[in-house]
C-alpha cells in the first residue's frame, strides 16, 4: 500500500489493482472501497505522509479546479473520470 515495501520504487498495490480492474476488467476481489482508509492507517503507523495528489488514495485524487476536465464534469460528461470516482473507491 502507498508504494511502500522493503525497497524503493515498489508499485503501489492500490494503483495496480485499480488499473487492472479499469483497463483489463480483471477484478481481484479486493475491497477497493477500503483503499483510502487503509492508506491513511499506513501513513499513521509509518509516519510517511503521501502527497495530496497521489493517484487513487491521495487527499486530492478526485478534485480539480479548472480546465477541460471541470468543464466536462459540469456538463455531465466527465471524459476522464467516468470510471474512476470516489464513490467506487
40-87 pLDDT per residue, tens: 999 999 998 888 878 788 887 666 555 555 565 566 655 554 455 555
- Chain segment 2-47, per-residue pLDDT in tens: 888 777 777 888 889 988 988 899 989 999 889 989 989 999 999 9
The sign one gets for the Cα dihedral 3, 24, 65, 38 is negative
Query: What does the buried/exposed string (b/e) look like for 60-86 if buried means 16 or more CB atoms within 10 Å of the residue's CB?
Result: ebeeeeeeeeeeeeeeeebeeeeebee
Q: Can you give the pLDDT at residue 68?
A: 56
39 in Cβ contact with 1 (< 8 Å): yes
Looking at residue 33, its pLDDT comes to 86
Q: What is the pLDDT of residue 7?
A: 74
Amino acid at each position: 500500500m502507498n508504494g511502500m515495501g522493503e525497497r524503493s520504487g515498489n508499485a503501489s498495490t492500490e494503483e495496480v489493482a485499480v488499473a487492472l480492474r479499469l483497463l483489463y476488467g480483471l477484478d481481484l476481489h479486493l475491497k477497493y472501497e477500503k483503499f483510502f482508509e487503509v492508506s491513511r492507517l499506513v501513513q499513521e503507523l509509518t509516519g510517511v505522509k503521501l502527497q495530496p495528489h497521489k493517484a487513487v488514495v491521495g487527499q486530492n485524487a478526485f478534485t480539480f479546479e479548472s480546465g477541460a476536465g471541470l468543464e466536462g464534469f459540469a456538463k455531465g460528461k466527465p471524459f476522464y473520470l467516468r470510471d474512476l470516482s470516489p464513490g467506487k473507491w
